[in-house]
Structure 1
């Protein structure tokens, strides 16, 4: 027997992201309006503004779906909603592929279920993947924000752009450091002992145990500035240019 869902979320060629309600339900309409869906007067579909940012649309659809499921209704969601729009690129620049969004929280949860070092390495590899890895997306976002600041064509904008370019360089360098660890994990035969406590029950060591030389910098970061109370930016330190990437590993 085929059962139709009470509500379906998906893309529409004219209205953008829409919700189709199979059975009239005042609670459903109330939830959709809470998440900024509006009803189209002709089709009866509930839709979000076409110019709404992707992350806002995704939060609205998933938030409404979760509330409706908790109320006992069946919800269907088109997987195409998980694919973000492509980032505009300059002519001649290869476009970054639009692929389903990656959740760092989901990767962390996945880590709690693996026992082998090589499996932990694969999780780091997902983080570093050149097509959908979060590290590359973070570097791209910071670099784009730097360029945005420079387009203000002011001294403050250019100064902020310079700082952001330095941060993007730090992110790129961090990616190469993580890749080094991932490569070492991938060749380790070690397995977590059967009597080891769960990862969630293992207390994490404080960062001070690993980075004592950065203690003064951390204090300076939270100290008040005489020019900007409550904010004291750390002067950007020179970062060596990262080594050229080696051949990418695939899972």
Structure 2
């Protein structure tokens, strides 16, 4: 389709099919969108991603396509509602959780670099701890949901992993309590950082522990490795041969 006064490519939300794009009728735009897994729908005259793709994957795909389009000199427009994640499914007796854009741990970490008053830092940390939209509660709910998924397998391994995940979720909840203590201590600290204080980005951060990279092969080996809960399968005992009446040589080793 031709967009004479609009951008070269525009991204939006289709009510049933998710992230969609319309583009000017140029072959290289079609090629670039297909490179980023958008496929043209002749019936709807729009570009769509694969059916059933996750929200976060769709947003990352759109962002990657946007960067490449802009780097090649094209104009791009996007509906900000694309960034809103879908509501989390809940039971009929539970109120549906509304989503809020920009309230992520990454965006809040960026805000810290611009703050100077301890009370403002406390307010930012309170957003992390918010009962309904905070990152800590979201992480705990995610792990609990993953545990429920494993438990739904109805297998011994699934139930064991479910219990392990629920233990991790409990640790996340404890982390929230510790962060709440820190959040309550912030307002009683000195009100503001000195004007000559170095930028936050210049201060060295504590070294993080390195998380080992586990390959699929290593996971497969670990899955069949013996443990206290899963003992190794011993080889079958061979049938003992009839004993000979002849004298047997000594099996004792001599030095």
Tell me if TM exceeds 0.5: yes
88-97 or 177-186: bigger deviation: 88-97
- TM-aligned CA deviation for residue 113 of structure 1: 1.6
Alignment partner, residue 16 of structure 1:
18
2:222 to 210, 228, 247: 228
CA distance in 2, matches of 1:14, 1:228: 42
Provide the residue aligned with 1:106 in structure 2.
107
Q: Distance in 2 between matches of 1:63 and 1:106?
A: 19
Counterpart CA distance in 2 for 1:14 and 1:193 is 53
What whole-Å deviation, never above 9, does each CA across 1:105-160 have from its counterpart, x for those lacking one? 22222211211111222221221222322111111110001111111111111111
| Distance change (3 Å), C-alpha of 1:183 and 1:27 | farther
Deviation string for 1:9-45 (max 9, x for gaps)? 1111343321011x32333222211221100113321
Q: Provide the residue aligned with 1:152 in structure 2.
A: 153
The number of residues matched between the two structures is 214
Distance in 1, Cα, partners of 2:90 & 2:119: 36
- Uncovered stretches (5+) of structure 2, i.e. residues with no partner: 226-255
The 1:186/1:35 distance shift into structure 2, 3 A limit, reads farther
- Give the alignment's Cα RMSD to 1 decimal: 2.8
TM-score, normalising length: structure 2: 0.75
User: Which residue in 2 is equivalent to 1:203?
Assistant: 204
2:130: which partner in 1?
Answer: 129
The runs of at least 4 consecutive aligned structure 1 residues that moved more than 4 Å come to none
Larger relative contact order (Cα-Cα within 8 Å, sequence gap ≥ 6): 1
CA separation in 2, counterparts of 1:25 and 1:133?
A: 44
- Say if 2:194 is the partner of 1:193: yes
Q: Which residue of 2 aligns with 1:52?
A: 53
Any stretches of 5+ residues in structure 1 without a counterpart? 209-217, 232-251
